[in-house]
Amino acid sequence: MSQRAQVLLWGAQRISAMVLALCVVVHLLTIIYAVRSGLSATEILGRTQGSVMWFAFYTLFVIAVAVHAPIGLRTILSETCGWRGRGLDVLTGVIGLSLAMWGMRAVVGVFGAGTA
């Protein structure tokens, strides 16, 4: 892998980590609010389904995970197993796309009613 590609991956890893940190804090605060307010799952879904804001927020969350996790996994596999090359890039790319697909499936399922 070229030096430029490694720098781009390093930057993407750091930026996605910052986005994830913010998303996790918002997500946890939302959970705490919902639990302390005594909201049921039905009430939560009633408040969130069709919300463009929550749809956008959790889409950003999914994108950050789909970028961050494969890059980290690629680094771990490279450092611990000595695996390098195209096979590693393909595997981690497939993992990233899978995380994006599964994550967006969940986002659309929970928040998508009325947003698409």
Instruction: Give the model confidence (pLDDT) of 48-99 as tens digits.
Output: 888 899 999 999 999 999 999 999 999 999 999 999 999 999 999 999 999 9
Mean pLDDT of 36-42: 91
Contact 69, 91 (CB under 8 A): no
CATH architecture, domain defined by 3-111: Up-down Bundle (1.20)
Contact 17, 68 (CB under 8 A): yes
Question: pTM surpassing 0.75?
Answer: yes
Amino acid at 60: L
Give the closest residue to 46 by CA, choosing from 90, 92, 54.
54
